[in-house]
Structure formats: structure tokens, C-alpha cells
Structure 1
């Protein structure tokens, strides 16, 4: 029998040393570079090469310019005017992205999201760090299963029952503002509206989603609120910093301990703790009240049921807690920021504020959920004009998981000078959808696209023909579309309308230092961003009672 000798670890190390660690290292680097070159060649051969802006930085491409711009959407729109409805922009370290500004191309993209177009490696790492492996993180079949399990909690029937919760939170804020004005000599008050909108949204999602009152409108401080505020107030937590831009090419960078990632981890831990606490308490209450059936249709009820062994769309405890973290995050800032923008726009456009108040007062008592949807057209117009001009998610990027061909509604010129009405996409291609740019595009929405004009939603020709080609809720990209369309869209709009109705009926809003008070938008933020507004009068308004 032939004996095969196996080298001992010490002899193996001796062999490695004889070859040379440096030589082995060089071989691995050469192999890595060779694979990268092959992938780059395949990408270039299989992807339609389009025109676009020149690279202004070898390291950052044009992303640093976008990050530092006061209006990145305007830059995307200008490039679309120069290069067509689909074009390429230089990204970090030689990478390239394809930007889609064409309704037909974006509709094709929506239809294939979570399968052909998936989250980038960086997005996956960030999502998991903050909210875990829930609906925002999941893709493909996992995403479909989780979404289907949660859908009943956001039906019209479910939201109709929650309308009283929206009113309760709005009236709590009203009472607090009344007290502030009673102690004012001039009968008005300077109010940091964004903070109050955060409190309204957090308490609302706590009660409506988890039957838990955070009490932030009563002055209580929840641990998750403190972390949100710390994150927002820290300038180094800005999503668009140079380190994070480099992480687009090397996601491992964000694993390196630093002040920003420590805050991200702290945020994730705080939401994990409160979500676990709410989950355990709710499961205990459900076990003690086996006769109650309404709880099964609530958000927390559905989540608890989905954890059971016999659930048709079973979710793990990790997935259940992740859904709760997503709801907390969305409940804290997304709707609250939109509400603040609505009050700012109404403070800038007092005629629109007067028209809205007249409609609300003429209607009389507080409307029901169905009346909110159908009987207050100017309120609906103000809400959707705000969502058009100020989408919480300014842009997003996905990566192609397989080769694809994207059709265009109009031809574009390629890098070589030819014309094409479709673009070939190779696996690994980065695709960016500039949400804010398309929502405010003059080409799509007309010459007054940058103006706050609620009336456009009320007239027959107010929405241009090009805008009607945009697939999404009311021709907006604000809630995305396709498999990843915002599940809480109707919940958010109902809350938005209810709170705005109560506040505008009872108060008059003005810019703190006149109509020319500066304000700016925070580009590309997802994690709470209150800090980017500091020093810009963000959300600080002069408020007085309406007599």
C-alpha cells in the first residue's frame, strides 16, 4: 500500500518562507487585478457606453460634487438635458453608474427590482447595521414573503381604524402650542416644528403599530429618541462624507471603527432593545388575551403571528424585530420631515395656506378617513405637492444581478456617436434613479416644476402629459414603485393629512424672520438628519393662533 505523506504545519511554513511571503502576496494581488480587468472588459463589451459628464476626480468621480451641491437634483437634470434621458456618470475609483431619467426605462427597472436589480453591497451592510434583515434589507423571495406577511396591517380597513390615533397625536401638539402662546406677550411663539413633528410621528407609530405610548409629546425621553437626536446632531454622521463615498467601492471600509460607525451601531442597538422589549411585552399580552381577534390585524399582532410555527408566511424572530426597527425609523423622521416641509411651504406661500384653511373650516368637523381621501381636494393637493418637491429619499442606486436590456421612450446618443432606443446592461452595472430630479424636472413637469403650486393637482391640464408617463403613486417617485413600493404609503398620507388639517385649522404659520428666511434640503439622507439643518432655520417657524 502506497503511503502518502502529509506535510506538517511547520514544514508548510518553511516552504512558504522559502518561496517568499512577498512573492505570494504579489501573486494574489496580480490574480485579483487580473480578475478585475476581465470583469471590466466584460462589462465594457456588454454594456452600452453612453455619454455623460467628465470625471472631475479620480478618487470620487463626480460624487463629491453631488454631495456638496445644494441641489444635486438640479445637477442630474442638467446632465439629462445635455446627454439624454439615460447617461453615465463617473463614480469612485474608476467605477461608472448609469443614470435613468426616462419614465419607460424606470418602469422597466421597477418591474425587475429585488430580482434583476438588487441592493448594492454597501446598502446591504448599512441596512443590516441599522435595521437588521427586515423588509428593507431582504431581496427576491425573502422580500416577497416578508412583504406579503405585513400587507394586511396597511390595508384601508386597518388604517381607517387608526385615524383616531392620528387625531389624538395632532391634538396633543395643539394643546401644548396653545399653552406656549398663552404665556407669550405677543400671542405668538417661535416653535421648532421639526422636533414636534418627530414627536407626533414617533408617538403615532408607537400606539398604532405597537400599542405602546412613547410619551414624547408629554416630554418623556425614549432611549431611541436620544440616539436619533445624537445621530442627527453629529456632523460627522453625514451620509455623504468622503469615507462613505470610498466605501461604495470597498464596503469593508465601514467596518473600520470610527465615530460615525459607532453612532450607527448605537442607533441599531437602541432600536434593537426597544423592539425586543415591545415584542416580548406584546407577545405576553397576546398570550394572556387569547379571545381578542382585532390584535391579529394590527402590525404587532401580525408580526407575532408570523413567528408561529404554523404561520403560512413564517418570519424568524430576527426578521420580526427587524420589521419593528424599520417602522420605528420610518415613524420617527420620514413623515415628520414631509410635514415640516409642508408647513415651511405654506409659510412661504400664505395664499396657499389661506386657501387650505378656508377649505378645512368650510368642511366643518374633523373628517373621517374616507372623507380625508375623497372630500378635501386642496388638502390632497398640498400634501402631494409637498411630496413632489421634497421626497425623503432623494436618489437610490441598485446593482444589476444579471444581464438585461432596458428600453427607452426616446433614443439617446452613445459614446461612439450612434443613436439607440435601448441600453444593454451587464451584470454588476450600477443603476441610479434620481428621485428628486425627476419629481422636479422641467422637462417632465413643465416650466413651473420648481415652484410650490398645489393648484396643478386640481386642474385638468395641471399634470403634463410627460409626467403622466411616470409610474408611481400619483406619477411621483416619492414612494418608489414595483415590488419595493412603500408599504406604509397610505398610512403615511393619512397621518400627513390628519396632522396638517388640525394644525392649519388652528394656527397661522410664518417664516421666523420673514419669507426670505433661508432653508436647504439635505441630499441623500435616510438615517435621521436633523443635524444637517442646524443653523439654517430648519423647521423653526413663527406660529400664532388663528382667530
Structure 2
């Protein structure tokens, strides 16, 4: 037996002992909660949610309702939850009971540092307090002019790739959206150009951008190892962990370690550069969120101030969070508009009318200012409806730190047929917060919950519980009951999301802090592109007359691929037929 095989065997015995003992002892069995039978003693049925799992997910929600039991590795029971009252309990009312899993926290700390997604308790509250002010609407208004030229550059490069005769050309929009979002985060958050749209501007941080891009592909290769990371970190020193990474026949482990080294070194260099700029007096003149964060950190009290390691963690976290999911959302919107030509024409007309209105006031602008951009009703409806129906992330984890009870808005049937109005949750239970199921709940969103219908947002009250906006203010918590003033608020029932009443950006103190930046970025790119470019579904056919078809796999994340015979169902791509806009393309 080779040394590497022996090490893998011994490591497997070590890391599997605790979960195996837990399984054999029956801890957290959730016997009363109904769910599908486990399909395999080792893998259960949990893996089916991450294997193009939309139809399986839909089957579970329809059959079992807002709470069901799914089996993970070694048959350990997990709760999949989409019930609104239960989710309110998890993310708002008892968020200290239902915390991020050790697997999530420790993995993120190893890769990104001590950022928001790696911390809990008082440390997380301190960080959140600092960053809430950084992502204020006033700062969004200040940052938008800095990043507006990015969409114009993106548009110019797309148009340059089109035929001069005005005809259409098939272009994969996914890498274009990825390059655009990287540059948005680079300039808007970090204050640097990554050169993703103009290679001549690529500087020392292009390696940082490439490292961020690699995290999800590499992470997917390590998915089966992640549950064992907490035990390894707690029981093996850093020296021997590095030796194991070197010795084990798992190249993805070494790739992830290299990514982590690049992230930490690059973020530390950025902090030092920005500090030097601020000492010279240049920092206050540059409007990007990293400068705002550093200035806020320096001006706060010693007890509330973030350490350099915490600042480093925020930079890596914000860069990751502002790129991957936004790219997916942008590509999805363009794909939908390509298939919904009347919606595309209506949106294009709305953007043109807004620009004409500004011109009539003597404000000649290529791009819309922040307040005009975010208040376009149909653009807002298109973005909200797409993010509701197709959240880029479908499932998020929590673990119960003590025995607890989850109250239910909509009772479910137990394994014995009894109606359950609450679920007993044993300590250590893993909970899958089902964002997709919540956003498509017919009891809350109506019978057309599974349909893309942006009109549901038009005419919705702009009041928060009767006197505010659709979205929660920073740091504000959603109540359990609200007026039926907005979509997703039915008979006083509402999900606790910060973005309208959907769960796409989560809710409570661990909600996505950058959702307003993401919304601004999406609206600015979409409004810029549709005003000058027409999108249609791919028209390419093979010799049998089969048309090219885009399919979005649900693998935990939304993954766009092309169906055979034109694609392999694996390579990520969103090919669309693109041409310059004609007058007939306006509503």
C-alpha cells in the first residue's frame, strides 16, 4: 500500500468516526418529519438536490410542504425548510440558535479570512455595524458615477463584435457578464481596475481576479470533503494540514490553498496601498467602498474598530459576493428577455423615455443617475421577478446549536399522518433553508408563483408596512405580519427577506449586505445594453433541425449550459443571437 493511499485511509477513519457514531446513536433522527426514503446507506438522497435537482426539489415541496426531511451522508437527517414562519424563526427571531454550520464558517475562514461569512456572535455584529454604513444609499449614489463607464465599455465591445450590416451574431453573453461584474466590483468596491474589459489596463491584480473566478469550480471538486474540514482543523496543526494537502492525491486541495494564498496576499497589499493614499490625502477624493470602509474604520472607536485581518476578510468576501451571483443574475435576465420579446421592447422603451425626460430638463446623459435608474418601474419589476423566480443560490445551511422548536405557518403531515403545527429540532440538526421553495410558495405568492410575471410588481405599494419602501432599511428586521401591500405578502403572511418579501438575499443580521450594490449594478448593465442591443434566443440548428437550447442546471447554484446535440450539459454558457437595435424593437 502506497503512503498516499494509507494516509487517505487513515484520514477517512479519523474524520468519519464522529459522524458515523452520531448516525449509529440516532442523534437528530427527526422521526416525525416526513420525507423521501433514503436511496443509499452512504449518500442518502441529499445529493439529488445538487444534481440538476429542480424537478426533485419541486417534487419534495409539492409532496411534503414547507418542511421535509432529506438524508445526507451516512443517513443523517436534514430539515429542508421553506415555511415562512419557520424561516422567520431561523433568520430573525432565534438567529442565535440557528447558526452557520462549522463547515461553512471554518472553510470560509481558511479561504477568505475573518470576513462577514466567517464570523459569528459579537465579532459578526461589530463587522455588520461597520459595513451597514458603508453600503448606505448615499454611498451607492456616490459610487455609481465611478462605475457607470464600465457598462458603456461593455456595450461598445459587444457592438464592435457585431456584423456591420446590422445582422445578428451568436455571442455567449456569460463571459461578458463575468468580466463586467469583476470590473464593477474592482472599481466600485476595491477602487482598482482589474483590466477584465480592457487587457491593456490589466495590472498586478489580474491574478486576484483569476483566483476569485476559480473558487467555485475548485470548490465543487471538494464538496464531498467539506463536511470533514472542522474536525481536521480542530485536531491537526496547520503544519500537518499543509503536509496532508501536499501528500494527498487530491489536486483540488492544493489549488484551493494556492487560491487562498493569492487572496490574502492581494487583499493585504490593497489595504497597504489604500492606507498610503489616505496618508497622502488622496483617499478621500476617490469614491469607492473600500476607501469609505477604511475611513469609517479609522474614525470609529477603538472597541468598534476592525483589525487588519478583519478588513482583509471583508475585501475577499465582498469581492466574491459581488461577482458570481450577479453574473448569474445578469445572464438569466438577458436569457429571459431574449425569449420574452414584448418585455424586452417594453423595457427598452422605458429606458429611452427616461433618458428623453432628462434631456428635456437639459440633462444630456448617456447613463441614468442613481435615483432615476432605481425608480424605473418596469426595470425594477423585471429585476425583482427574475431574482424571485431564479435565485442564484437555492439552498443555504444553518445548524441548531441547542434543542429548539420551529413553528409553522402552514402545518405539514407527520410520518404517521398527524398534522404538525411545529417541529422539534434536536441539537446539531442541519437545516437547509430552501430559498427557491420560499420564493415559489403558492400559499404566499399565488397560484402563478412558478411563472415569470414582472407585472405582479407594478402598482405594488411603495410603502414599508404602509409607510416606507419595498425593501428593508439596513439593520431593520422584518416583522412576522404585514399589510398585504406588496407581492409576497398574503393574508398578512410575509417572508423575512431584506429584498421585498423574497428570500433571495436572505433576511436578518446575516442577510446579504451588498444587495443594493448588486441591484444597482444589474439595473445599470441591463438598461445600458437593452437600449442599444437586441437579444434573441439562439437560432442555430443542426442537420436534423434541432435548435440550440439553453438549460439552467440547479446544482445548488444556477448553472447555465446547452442541451445536446449542441452542447454537453456541462460547459457553462449562455449563447444568444445579438444585433443592433432597430426602431421596430421599441414598444
The secondary structure found in structure 2 opposite 1:474 is coil
Distance 2:519 2:264 in 1: 27
What do residues 341-379 of structure 1 show as CA deviations (whole Å, max 9, x unaligned)? 1111100111110111111112225432122232x1100
What do residues 425-445 of structure 1 show as CA deviations (whole Å, max 9, x unaligned)? 121111111112222344543
- 1:469/1:385 Cα in 2 relative to 1: closer, same or farther (>3 Å)? same
Q: CA deviation at 1:124?
A: 2.0
| Candidates 84, 107, 118, aligned match of 1:126 | 107
| Candidates 307, 313, 333, aligned match of 2:324 | 333
- 1:519/1:79 Cα in 2 relative to 1: closer, same or farther (>3 Å)? closer
1:517 paired with 2:549, answer yes
Distance 1:418 1:508 in 2: 55
Distance 1:150 1:56 in 2: 44
The secondary structure found in structure 1 opposite 2:117 is coil
The secondary structure found in structure 2 opposite 1:248 is helix
| Candidates 349, 353, 357, aligned match of 2:344 | 353
1:197 paired with 2:177, answer yes
Contact 2:82–2:438 (Cα < 8 Å) also in 1: yes
What do residues 139-187 of structure 1 show as CA deviations (whole Å, max 9, x unaligned)? 1111111111111110010001112123211011112223222x65554
> What corresponds to 1:289 in structure 2?
281
Output aligned runs, 1:41-440, within 5 Å: 43-44=28-29, 49-68=32-51, 70=52, 72-112=53-93, 115-181=96-162, 184=164, 187-219=167-199, 220-221=201-202, 222-230=206-214, 237=218, 239=220, 244-245=223-224, 247-248=226-227, 257=245, 258-289=250-281, 293=284, 298-303=289-294, 306=297, 310-364=301-355, 365=358, 366-374=367-375, 376-440=376-440
> What corresponds to 1:505 in structure 2?
531
How many positions carry a matched residue from both structures? 505
Distance 2:226 2:159 in 1: 48
The secondary structure found in structure 2 opposite 1:421 is strand
> What corresponds to 1:452 in structure 2?
452
> What corresponds to 2:476 in structure 1?
none
Question: Relative to structure 2, which stretch is displaced further, 385-394 or 472-481?
Answer: 385-394
Contact 1:116–1:401 (Cα < 8 Å) also in 2: yes
Distance 1:113 1:479 in 2: 18
Contact 1:150–1:299 (Cα < 8 Å) also in 2: no
The higher radius of gyration belongs to: 1
What do residues 169-214 of structure 1 show as CA deviations (whole Å, max 9, x unaligned)? 1011112223222x65554433332222122222222222222122
Q: CA deviation at 1:512?
A: 2.5
- 1:203/1:140 Cα in 2 relative to 1: closer, same or farther (>3 Å)? same
The secondary structure found in structure 1 opposite 2:304 is coil
Contact 2:488–2:494 (Cα < 8 Å) also in 1: no
The secondary structure found in structure 1 opposite 2:197 is helix
The secondary structure found in structure 2 opposite 1:216 is coil
Distance 2:22 2:561 in 1: 41
- 1:424/1:142 Cα in 2 relative to 1: closer, same or farther (>3 Å)? same
The secondary structure found in structure 1 opposite 2:420 is strand
The secondary structure found in structure 1 opposite 2:531 is helix
> What corresponds to 1:469 in structure 2?
494
Distance 1:199 1:38 in 2: 45
Question: Relative to structure 2, which stretch is displaced further, 325-334 or 136-145?
Answer: 325-334
Distance 2:71 2:431 in 1: 12
Greater RCO structure (CA 8 Å; 6+ sep): 1
TM-score normalised per structure 1: 0.83
The secondary structure found in structure 2 opposite 1:157 is helix
Contact 1:202–1:332 (Cα < 8 Å) also in 2: yes
Q: CA deviation at 1:488?
A: 0.6
Contact 1:48–1:423 (Cα < 8 Å) also in 2: no
Q: CA deviation at 1:389?
A: 2.2
Q: CA deviation at 1:452?
A: 2.2
TM-score normalised per structure 2: 0.78
- 1:205/1:489 Cα in 2 relative to 1: closer, same or farther (>3 Å)? same
RMSD value over aligned CA atoms?
3.3
